[in-house]
């Protein structure tokens, strides 16, 4: 990756409905405008994400989506939907980046949000760089949170099941929602850590101690689990299959799709379906990677894509 850099400007976007969204700018103030969309939802940005862009050629905006990271109020689910986030991106483009077009970079849930934004505002997207594609269809959610991935990680699955009594395990997302939004703080945190660790321990092809420790503190785990589960219970606040059905809106936008062959979190089928619906985009399969952005083959292709579009 590019060397570590500091943000040269930061602030908060007042959304007008109770949220303060943290944002920062890094790189070259005169460079090509880009927006980085983090995963989760509920994960937040990290300094390492700044290093995916050439700081001499890009002016990059990173922001913590509603309720997570440095945004306020913490772990809030009110006024927190896909379309609120799309509106936040649009305001950040116009008011902070002050540009007509932006490169949009997103992985995992970030790819979902990037697709939603690009389909609503295609005129403002210069390019798309997407990784670990997630279209938020029910079969994708059920694969990872109800069945499917449990066959690959039965030992870790037991820990994910632990907070939920057997009689509620036929709908784990709903059962988790009950606990994550309940008033029992101990039960809430137990559910938050179990939900978060299930993902943190399964996103790489090879075991990664660093990833396994992701969102280990109570505050981070609670924001991640509550917000992610909130989006899944509400089906992403979209029609089923909407992002693939409306992929024709992307056909004039240059793009790159990067997918790990052994991604257990967002399996390759969704990336393939997007490739079929948006054949104009470059499509790359990493033969020895899972879901994480920093696995070597995936990272190499992500950097190649941002370099290519830097102009």
DSSP 250-265: GTTS-EEEEEETT-SS
C-beta neighbour count of 120 within 10 angstroms:
17
Mean pLDDT over residues 48-72, rounded?
98
Cβ distance 110 to 37 under 8 Å? yes
CATH superfamily of 9-137+237-309: Alpha/Beta hydrolase fold, catalytic domain (3.40.50.1820)
Per-residue pLDDT tens for 202-232?
A: 999 998 888 877 788 999 999 999 999 999 9
Contacts of 186 (CB under 8 A, 6+ apart): none
What's the pTM value of the predicted model, to 2 decimals?
0.98
| Cross-strand bridge partners of residue 72 | 20
| The pair of three-digit structure tokens given for residue 162, joined into one six-digit string | 């632990």
Per-residue pLDDT tens for 246-274?
A: 999 999 999 999 999 999 999 999 999 99
Per-residue pLDDT tens for 131-150?
A: 999 999 999 999 999 999 99
pLDDT for position 155: 97
Mean pLDDT over residues 128-133, rounded?
98
Cβ distance 23 to 65 under 8 Å? no
Q: Is 291 noted as a catalytic residue in this protein?
A: yes
Nearest to 28 by CA among 1, 48, 12, 7: 7
pLDDT for position 122: 98
Catalytic position from the list 76, 263, 275, 284? 263
pLDDT for position 223: 97
Which residues in the chain are classed under CATH 3.40.50.1820? 9-137+237-309
Residue 159 CA from chain centroid, whole number: 23
Separation CA 285–CA 263 (nearest Å): 10
Cβ distance 117 to 248 under 8 Å? no
**Mean pLDDT value across the chain:** 97
Mean pLDDT over residues 65-94, rounded?
98
C-beta neighbour count of 253 within 10 angstroms:
18
Q: Dihedrals φ, ψ of 255, to 5°?
A: -155, 165
Contacts of 279 (CB under 8 A, 6+ apart): none
pLDDT for position 230: 98
Separation CA 118–CA 223 (nearest Å): 26
Does residue 90 carry a pLDDT above 80? yes
Separation CA 199–CA 156 (nearest Å): 10
Q: Exposed, middle or buried, 98 (CB in 10 Å: 0-12/13-18/19+)?
A: exposed
Catalytic position from the list 108, 111, 150, 200? 108
pLDDT for position 53: 98
Separation CA 92–CA 175 (nearest Å): 35
Does residue 109 carry a pLDDT above 90? yes
Distances (CA, A) of 226 to 47, 75, 78, 192, 234: 23, 7, 12, 7, 12
Q: Is 108 noted as a catalytic residue in this protein?
A: yes
Separation CA 196–CA 229 (nearest Å): 10
Q: Is 184 noted as a catalytic residue in this protein?
A: no
Per-residue pLDDT tens for 19-41?
A: 999 999 999 999 999 999 999 99
Per-residue pLDDT tens for 182-202?
A: 999 999 999 999 999 999 999
pLDDT for position 213: 78
């Amino acid at each position: 990756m590019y060397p570590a850099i500091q943000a040269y400007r930061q602030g908060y976007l007042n959304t007008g409905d109770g949220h303060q969204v943290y944002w920062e700018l890094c790189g070259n103030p005169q460079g090509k405008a880009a927006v980085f969309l983090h995963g989760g939802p509920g994960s937040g940005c990290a300094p390492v994400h700044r290093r995916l862009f050439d700081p001499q050629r890009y002016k990059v905006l990173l922001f913590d989506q509603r309720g997570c990271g440095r945004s306020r109020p913490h772990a809030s689910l009110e006024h927190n939907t896909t379309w609120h986030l799309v509106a936040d991106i649009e305001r950040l483009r116009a008011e902070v980046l002050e540009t007509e077009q932006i490169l949009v970079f997103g992985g995992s849930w970030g790819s979902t949000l990037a697709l939603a934004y690009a389909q609503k505002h295609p005129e403002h997207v210069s390019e798309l760089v997407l990784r670990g594609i997630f279209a938020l269809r029910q079969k994708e959610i059920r694969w990872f949170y109800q069945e499917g991935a449990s066959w690959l990680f039965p030992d870790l699955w037991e820990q994910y099941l632990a907070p939920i009594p057997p009689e509620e395990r036929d709908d784990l997302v709903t059962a988790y929602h009950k606990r994550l939004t309940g008033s029992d703080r101990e039960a809430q945190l137990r559910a938050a850590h179990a939900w978060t660790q299930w993902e943190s321990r399964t996103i790489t092809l090879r075991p990664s101690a660093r990833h396994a420790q992701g969102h280990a503190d109570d505050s981070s785990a609670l924001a991640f689990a509550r917000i992610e589960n909130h989006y899944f219970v509400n089906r992403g606040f979209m029609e089923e299959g909407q992002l693939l059905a409306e992929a024709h809106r992307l056909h004039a936008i240059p793009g790159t799709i990067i997918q790990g062959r052994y991604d257990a979190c967002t399996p390759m089928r969704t990336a393939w379906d997007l490739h079929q619906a948006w054949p104009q985009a470059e499509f790359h399969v990493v033969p020895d990677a899972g879901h994480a952005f920093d696995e070597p083959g995936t990272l190499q292709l992500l950097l190649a894509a941002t370099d290519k579009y830097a102009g």
